[in-house]
Amino acid sequence: MATDTHGAEGKGLELVFHPMDQFIVKPLFGDGGVGTFTITNVTLWMALTVLAIVALLVLGTSGRSTVPSRVQSIAELAYGFIRKMVEDVAGKDALPYFPYIMTLFIFIVFSNFLGLLPGAFTTTSHIAVTAVMAMAVFLAVTILGFVKNGFGFLSVFWISSAPLPLRPILALIEVISYFVRPVSHSIRLAGNMMAGHAVIKVFAAFAPMVLISTGIGLLVTPLSIIAITAIYALEVLVAFIQAYVFTILTCVYLKDALHPHH
Amino acid sequence: MATETTAAAEGHVSPLALEEAGKCVDSHGGAIGMPQLCGDWMGNQIFWLVVTLIVIYFVLSRIALPRIAAVLAERQGTITNDLAAAEDLKVKAVEAEEAYNKALADARAEAQNIVAATKAEIKGEIDDAIAKADAEISAKAAEGEAKIAEIRAGAMEAVKTVAKDTAKEIVAAMGGKADAKTVTAAITARMKG
């Protein structure tokens, strides 16, 4: 393996820092380059995401029981959670878009959690993935806004509750922030996922210190293991919260498209 | 050995230079900079992401979401039905209680009627018996009084006879001639006094 020779430079007696290697996209079969249709680790982990989703939402609910099993309860909980979020944040007339929002949420939450498995590839840590989703949301919401409200959608930038002299300035700020939305929307998710995983990897690199220098190692090794555990716990939280944030922001943007008047 | 020499050779090339050359990994397969920014991989990721999202969307919208919605609706229906049934049963229980109370009150009223009727009947009988007894008693009393009056009359008569006889004797003994008519008149007058 490439990574083996990589760490062997100093014959094993040095700390090896490669926190970003976990984000490398590589073909599953063979050593060739990565083309558009190559089956890569991205393919593998997205396929696992799909399988996990099918297991929860399709196999888990196959009993259709009135008194639900544990898995069915979780599926119903996820359904109710997102449905209620769409209804509360974007309003009742946003419910036709619930399946799309549910698709985004369930994909992100499963990708995030599968990415927490040791050795996993986190698809949502890549800006390419999150940017596509954020751009899709941005374009869909903008087009929807114009289709539903015509040019009345532009009133989303015109804060009628603000004093009149302030409104043009606010409108400028609103326009800028509107176009920054897809950027922040995507970088927030990818950045969170990448940072946590990279930090875990950095602490992991300190963990074998005891093999190199027993003196410092007795202090550094336990500390880094505790740090890995703590960051991992934090990452479990982040995995859910970032999926939640991505979804609720999508709902907020959808609300702007359906009800542009402040 | 060959790999080590290339590694040593490439060790002099800075990662920044490699990154500028459009490379994403160094000769060891390690990451240069952020793999997230590697343009070579983005097409692959976007393609598989779109495939994945479409698959998830169809699984959700065709199978999972309608099924869960149906289960939830069915559960809601079951709960509503059960609540309605419970409400019905409650009403029935109240009705049964009312019927029971009514039956109890009826029975009580009937019992009271029977008691009152019986009391009245018994009272009538007692009154009858008392009246009868009173009548009998007054009859007997009247009879007794009649007898007493008879006896008294008899006694008067006897007293009169004895008084007449005694008076005649006394008058005779005194040497007079007793006129029966005068003696009787005298005795009658005395006895009245």
Which residue among B24, B34, B53 places its CB closest to the CB of A107? Answer: B53
What is the per-residue pLDDT across A147-163, written as a single tens digit (0 to 9) for each?
Answer: 999 888 988 888 888 88
Decide if pLDDT at B3 tops 80.
Answer: no
- Strand, helix or coil for residue A40: strand
Nearest Cα residue to A156 out of A139, A137, A138, A171: A171
Cβ-in-10-Å burial (0-12, 13-18, 19+) of A87 comes to middle
Give residue A62's identity as a one-letter amino acid code.
S
Number of domains in chain A: 1
Q: pLDDT-derived band of residue B2, with 50, 70 and 90 as boundaries? A: very low
pLDDT of residue B132: 94
Identify which of B128, B11, B48 has the alpha carbon closest to the alpha carbon of residue A25: B48
B36 interaction partners in chain A (CB closer than 8 Å): 23, 125-128, 190, 194
What is the pLDDT at residue B141?
92
C-alpha distances (whole Å) from B12 to each of B6, B8, B16, B25 are 10, 7, 11, 15
pLDDT value at position B54? 96
Distance from C-alpha of A204 to C-alpha of A210, rounded to nearest angstrom:
12
Please tell me the predicted confidence (pLDDT) of residue B10: 47
Chain B residues closer than 8 Å to A38 by CB: 44
Query: Tokens 């399709």 appear where?
Result: A58
Q: Which two tokens stand for residue B93?
A: 């229980």
- What pLDDT band is residue A79 in, cutting at 50, 70 and 90? very high
pLDDT for residue A10 is more than 80 = no
Q: Is the pLDDT of residue A25 over 70?
A: yes
Nearest Cα to B42, choosing from A54, A214, A42, A91? Answer: A42
Judging contacts by C-beta atoms under 8 Å, the chain A residues touching residue B24 are 24
Q: Which residue has the higher pLDDT, B7 or B134?
A: B134
Q: Give the pLDDT mean for A30-45.
A: 87
Cross-chain residue pair A25–B37, CB shorter than 8 Å: no
| Amino acid B14: pLDDT | 65
What is the distance between the alpha carbons of residues A170 and A152, in angstroms, rounded to a whole number?
Answer: 17
The whole domain housing A158 covers: 2-258
**Which value, in Å, is the radius of gyration of the alpha carbons in chain B?**
70
Q: What's the maximum distance between 2 C-alpha atoms anywhere in chain A? A: 71
Residue type, B143: E
Structure ipTM: 0.89
Residues A171-196 have a mean pLDDT of: 94
Compute the mean pLDDT over every residue in chain A, rounded to the nearest whole number: 89
Mutate to test the interface with A, among B18, B56, B57 (most CBs of A within 10 A): B56
Percent of chain A with pLDDT over 70: 95
**A46 shares contact with chain B (CB less than 8 Å):** yes
pLDDT at B106: 95
Among chain B residues, CA nearest to A136: B50
What mean pLDDT comes out for the span B30-44?
84
Instruction: Specify the pLDDT at position A13.
Output: 66
